[in-house]
Structure 1
Amino acid sequence: MSGGKNGRAAASAGKGTTPQQVDLPFSFGALTAGRIAALLVLFVLGALVGAAGALAQGGWFPGGLLLALLGAAGLFHGGARLTGGRSGAVAPAAGWLVAVILLTASRPEGDFLFGAGLGSYLFLLGGMAVAVICATLGLTRQPPASAARLGK
């Protein structure tokens, strides 16, 4: 009785087993040179969009803020579409966040780019919300279309 299925299961649970794979919240896919280059370019584009959005939101308050958030959302979602996964949204979001955090720090001269107004807080929090939404939004694939009409 000890040599049955339970004995094999107990023996395979020992030291010789391979560890189980852990699913991450986002996948980088196969890390090829092209994919790494695309993610680095998206990171740099995210930093540029963050810096441009910081300037635009302060210059033209209601329209500039909307333009900056739409530009960030377009880049994050476009990056996810380009790479076919969530890592394409995470890379520009990380670049955007680094640029915005660096621009919020005051300099020794006392200058800073962000004022303490409602627009700058909406830009910071709204950009982070857009980044989270685009990074967690699943890219659902549609099933292939059949030649037959539905319902027949």
Structure 2
Amino acid sequence: MTEPADARPPRRSIPAAVLGTRDERLKEPQPSPAWRIAAYALFFPLGFAVSVCGAFVQALWPPAGVLLALAATGATFYAGLRITGTRLGAAIPAAGWFAALLLLMVPRPEGDNVLWTNATSLSWLFVGSILGVICATLPTRTSWFPGVPGPPR
């Protein structure tokens, strides 16, 4: 029997097409332990670098710079989650991001500040923190510890 001309697969939303559905993400194969450890080692300095760059970008272009810095921050956290397949993969770049913030928030002896107490800096700090928490609590293929499988689903 022939199919009707308008029998197409259902359309997926843009986020589902780009990021995949929850079931598709949970069925992805787990990377090897050596690959995960190498990714953890690379994502900490990447989170640090994104934080430093974001601090200057959000101040350089006030309305659009904050969105650009937040997009890079969220993408880094989510990439850590997806590449490693663990929640620790999102927490490692978030730890690097916060470590850089601790250094950037301290005023210099000359009186210079990198992050000021204005709306753009505070929104970048607050929303970036929320993005880190969201990415670190998304469903993953394993538990917090690198490579220890969780209970069967």
- TM-score normalized with structure 2 length: 0.68
Q: 2 CA distance for matches of 1:116 and 1:65?
A: 14
CA displacement at 1:108 relative to structure 2: 1.1
- Aligned residue for 2:40, secondary structure, equals helix
Letter in 2 for 1:76: F
1:76 equivalenced with 2:74 (yes/no): no
What stretches of structure 1 move > 3 A for 4+ residues in a row? 29-34
- Kindly tell me the number of residue pairs found equivalent between the two proteins: 113
Q: 2 CA distance for matches of 1:127 and 1:119?
A: 12
Counting aligned pairs with the same residue, the percent is 44
Letter in 2 for 1:91: I
Structure 1 spans left out of the alignment, 5+ residues: 1-28, 141-152
* Deviations, residues 29-78 of structure 1 (Å, cap 9, x unaligned): 99944322210110000000000000000011110000101111001001
CA displacement at 1:79 relative to structure 2: 0.8
Structure 2 spans left out of the alignment, 5+ residues: 1-29, 142-153
Q: 2 CA distance for matches of 1:32 and 1:45?
A: 20
Letter in 2 for 1:75: T
Root-mean-square deviation over aligned CA pairs:
2.1
Higher radius of gyration, 1 or 2: 1
Letter in 1 for 2:91: V
Q: 1 CA distance for matches of 2:55 and 2:31?
A: 34
Letter in 2 for 1:56: V
- TM-score normalized with structure 1 length: 0.69
